[in-house]
């Protein structure tokens, strides 16, 4: 490893001068500076991040704590965070809390121990960890008072609900994966708001909820709204097994716009997160907190975007009636 000292000795100056020439901070004669720079690049000099971190107290590394790395959203968050971090000259250290709240704290202290400058947390369902004495931001959902930034899950649900109600559905099944998740609770609350007071709804959770779907449809429901695309796919599977077609017999919506949303048939009407904006904002706030500003930023809910595809339609009864109306008008 070539060091500053190395270069300094080779060229016959002091390490301070080399440091200054390379960083452009102190004043160094242009002639000397270029000589130093060329030698440095010839030698393939790389500053030691350890030494720099030791001296400056900043590692240039951020920690990312995810509740579960296999969470389908993780790749998108990781990617956008990684891009946003890179443009700020920062690196990202990952830690997995594997669905366990205790491990989450462990991961947190692990990262702190590794000297990260700040932490991005996507909390475990139902928890709100408090990292001690290190700048942090939380990406969760609006109803978590500690959240820094989040997708507007409530508003997203509302858009979806409005869409379904607007099509004429008046009895709807709301399907969640895990009732403990605040994110999913917010999504469902939003859906209910969007559906409005005229629509009846049944909320069902998990595998049992999934299995209950055909029964609920028989009972008169004409639409199924899931809190994730994967759950929607599962519902679709139950429906076709029961001989029910989408969107003919029942309309279906998902959440998150995962790749599978366009791979299934019919393509899934769903709602997309603006992960890029979320990542950018999270890092902006985090950078500010690392710089020592008071954490007085209001929490931000980034709007979600409705993606209309072919899994939703006017309910069959209504569409027949419309046809009849039209025939009546034409005759």
Partner DNA sequence: TTGTAAGCGTTATCAG
Partner DNA sequence: CTGATAACGCTTACAA
98 contact, one of DNA, a copy of itself, none, CB 5-8 Å limit per kind? a copy of itself
Query: Would you say 194 or 234 has its CB closer to a copy of itself?
Result: 234
> How far lies 297's CA from each of 85, 129, 143, 181, 300, in Å?
20, 19, 16, 24, 9
16 sits near DNA (criterion: CB under 7 A): yes
Distance, CA of 166 to CA of 194 (rounded, Å):
10
- Return the structure tokens found at 177: 């994966």
CB of 60 to a copy of itself, least distance (A): 7
The listed partner (DNA, a copy of itself, none) that binds 277, CB under 5 to 8 Å by sort, is none
**134 in contact with DNA (CB under 7 A):** no
Q: How far apart are CA 71 and CA 232, in angstroms?
A: 16
Burial class (CB in 10 A: 0-12, 13-18, 19+), 283: buried
Q: Where are the beta strands (DSSP E) in 109-161?
A: 118-121, 136-138, 149-151
Closest CA to 223 of 241, 205, 199, 207: 199
The DSSP call for residue 303 is: P
CB of 8 to DNA, least distance (A): 7
Q: Show contacts with DNA in window 38-97 (CB under 7 A).
A: 45-48, 51-52, 54-56
Q: Minimum CB separation from DNA for residue 60, in Å?
A: 11
Candidates 17, 97, 251, 312: give the one binding DNA (CB under 7 A).
Answer: 17
Task: Give the shortest CB-129-to-a copy of itself separation in angstroms.
Answer: 17
Distance set, CA 200 to CA 153, 244, 265 (Å): 21, 21, 27
DSSP state of 101: H
Distance CA 30, CA 145 (A): 54
34 belongs to the binding site for DNA (CB under 7 A): no
Please identify, among the stretches 16-24, 139-147, 246-254, 286-294, the one whose residues bind DNA according to the rule CB under 7 A. Answer: 16-24
User: Are 118 and 293 contacting, i.e. CB atoms less than 8 angstroms apart?
Assistant: no
Between 43 and 244, CB nearer to DNA = 43
For DNA, the closer CB: 60 or 72: 60
Partner in contact with 188, chosen from DNA, a copy of itself, none, beta carbon below 5 to 8 Å by kind = none
The smaller minimum CB distance to DNA, of residues 4 and 122, is found at: 4
Count of beta carbons in the 10 Å neighbourhood of residue 141: 22
List interacting residues with a copy of itself (CB under 8 A): 46-51, 53-54, 59-61, 68-72, 74-76, 78-79, 82-83, 86, 91-96, 98, 110-115, 230-231, 233-234, 236-238, 240-241, 259-260, 263-265, 267
Nearest distance in Å: CB 76, a copy of itself: 6
Nearer residue to DNA within complex by CB, 7 or 122: 7
136 closest CA partner among 85, 64, 86, 60: 64
Residues that bind DNA (CB under 7 A): 1, 3-5, 12-17, 19-20, 22-23, 25-29, 32-33, 45-48, 51-52, 54-56
């Amino acid at each position: 490893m070539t060091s500053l000292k190395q270069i300094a000795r080779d060229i016959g100056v002091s390490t301070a001068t080399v440091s200054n020439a390379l960083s452009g901070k102190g004043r160094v004669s242009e002639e000397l500076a270029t000589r130093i720079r060329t030698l440095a690049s010839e030698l393939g000099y790389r500053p030691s991040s350890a030494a720099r971190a030791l001296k400056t107290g900043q590692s240039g590394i951020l920690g990312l704590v995810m509740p579960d790395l296999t969470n389908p959203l993780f790749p998108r968050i990781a990617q956008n965070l990684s891009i946003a971090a890179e443009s700020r000259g920062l690196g990202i250290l990952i830690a997995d809390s594997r669905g366990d709240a205790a491990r989450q704290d462990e991961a947190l202290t692990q990262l702190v121990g590794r000297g990260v400058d700040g932490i991005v947390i996507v909390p475990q369902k139902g928890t709100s960890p408090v990292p001690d004495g290190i700048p942090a931001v939380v990406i969760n959902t609006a109803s978590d008072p500690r959240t820094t930034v989040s997708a507007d899950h409530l508003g997203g649900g509302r858009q979806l609900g409005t869409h379904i109600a607007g099509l004429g559905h008046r009895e709807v099944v709301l399907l969640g994966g895990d009732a403990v998740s605040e994110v999913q609770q917010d999504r469902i609350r939003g859906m209910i708001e969007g559906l409005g007071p005229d629509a009846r709804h049944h909320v069902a959770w998990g595998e049992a909820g999934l299995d209950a779907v055909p029964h609920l449809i028989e009972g008169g429901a004409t639409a199924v709204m899931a809190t994730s695309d994967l759950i929607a796919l599962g519902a679709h599977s139950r429906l076709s097994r029961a001989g029910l077609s989408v969107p003919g017999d029942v309309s279906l919506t998902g959440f998150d716009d995962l790749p599978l949303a366009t791979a299934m048939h019919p393509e899934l009407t769903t709602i997309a997160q603006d992960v890029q904006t979320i990542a950018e904002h999270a890092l902006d706030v985090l950078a500010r907190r690392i710089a020592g500003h008071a954490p007085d930023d209001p929490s931000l809910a980034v709007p979600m975007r409705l993606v209309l595809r072919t899994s939703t339609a006017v309910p069959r009864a209504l569409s027949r009636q419309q046809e009849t109306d039209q025939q009546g008008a034409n005759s």
